[in-house]
């Protein structure tokens, strides 16, 4: 029988955290759909959301379609691809999809270590939303923070600002360093 290590305990804690986080994401998605439909006056907004979990990584595909109320013809349709992935897949996506990698931690946290090629846009800075206007909305945006809280809020702001392909690192930079440490021991 294998002894339980501190690393195994941390992985289990992270899995528990991720499960609770998924529940919150699903509830927020449902609330978003209800609010969007309730606020439409002459237009109806139909939100279809699909959540997939594969190998512990979460993909959320959200399609928003605006239609005239009482009409069978549809208006504009917009698909938003949101992926919440582990650190290894995040780094792989950053390398292969040539996206815009943003670190939403403070400047001091960023200086303490960050992913290669990441741009520091402090989420807590009042200029964060204005900085989004200077980014390419058609290119993938990869976002991370220290532990996942700020990047989840930033992901929501990115979505509201019109970004259509968003990748969030699950567990943030802290999780990244834990995974790198575990990988180096093998």
CATH superfamily of domain region 6-184: Rhodanese-like domain (3.40.250.10)
Per-domain boundaries in the chain: 6-184
Model pLDDT, residue 102: 97
Contact present, 90 and 64 (Cβ < 8 Å): no
Model pLDDT, residue 54: 62
Catalytic residue IDs: 145
Residues of the chain with pLDDT under 70: 1-77
Residue 178 DSSP SS3? helix
Residue with the two structure tokens 């532990």: 147
Residue 60 parent element (H or E): strand 57-68
What Rg value do the Cα atoms of the chain yield, rounded?
Answer: 18
Answering whether pTM is above 0.85, one says no
How many Å from the N-terminal Cα to the C-terminal Cα in the chain? 19
Contact present, 148 and 21 (Cβ < 8 Å): yes
Model pLDDT, residue 41: 47
Q: Which residues of 23-48 are buried (b: 16+ CB within 10 A; e: fewer)?
A: eebeeebeebbeeeeeeeeeebbebe
Model pLDDT, residue 184: 86
Q: Which of 161, 172, 177 is nearest to 102 (CA)?
A: 172
Contact present, 154 and 84 (Cβ < 8 Å): no
Report strand pairing: 74-85 vs 165-169.
parallel
Distance separating alpha carbons of residues 14 and 175, to the nearest angstrom: 8
Distance separating alpha carbons of residues 99 and 141, to the nearest angstrom: 5
pLDDT tens-digit readout, 91-129: 999 999 888 999 999 999 999 999 999 999 999 998 999
């Amino acid at each position: 029988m294998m002894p339980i290590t501190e690393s195994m305990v941390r992985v289990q804690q992270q899995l528990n955290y991720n499960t609770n986080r998924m529940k919150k994401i699903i509830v927020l998605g449902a609330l978003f759909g209800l609010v969007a439909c309730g606020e439409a006056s002459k237009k109806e907004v139909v939100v279809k959301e699909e959540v997939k979990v594969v190998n512990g990584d979460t993909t959320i595909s959200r399609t928003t379609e605006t239609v005239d109320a009482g009409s069978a013809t549809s208006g504009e349709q917009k698909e938003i691809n949101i992926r919440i992935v582990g650190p290894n897949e995040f780094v792989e996506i950053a390398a292969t999809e040539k996206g815009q990698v943003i670190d939403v931690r403070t400047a001091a946290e960023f200086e303490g270590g960050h992913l290669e090629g990441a741009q520091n846009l402090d989420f807590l800075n009042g200029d964060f939303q204005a900085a989004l206007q200077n980014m390419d909305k058609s290119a993938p945006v990869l976002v991370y923070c220290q532990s996942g809280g700020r990047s989840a809020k930033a992901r929501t702001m990115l979505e509201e600002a019109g970004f259509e392909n968003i990748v969030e690192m699950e567990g943030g930079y802290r999780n990244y360093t834990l995974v790198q440490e575990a990988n180096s021991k093998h």
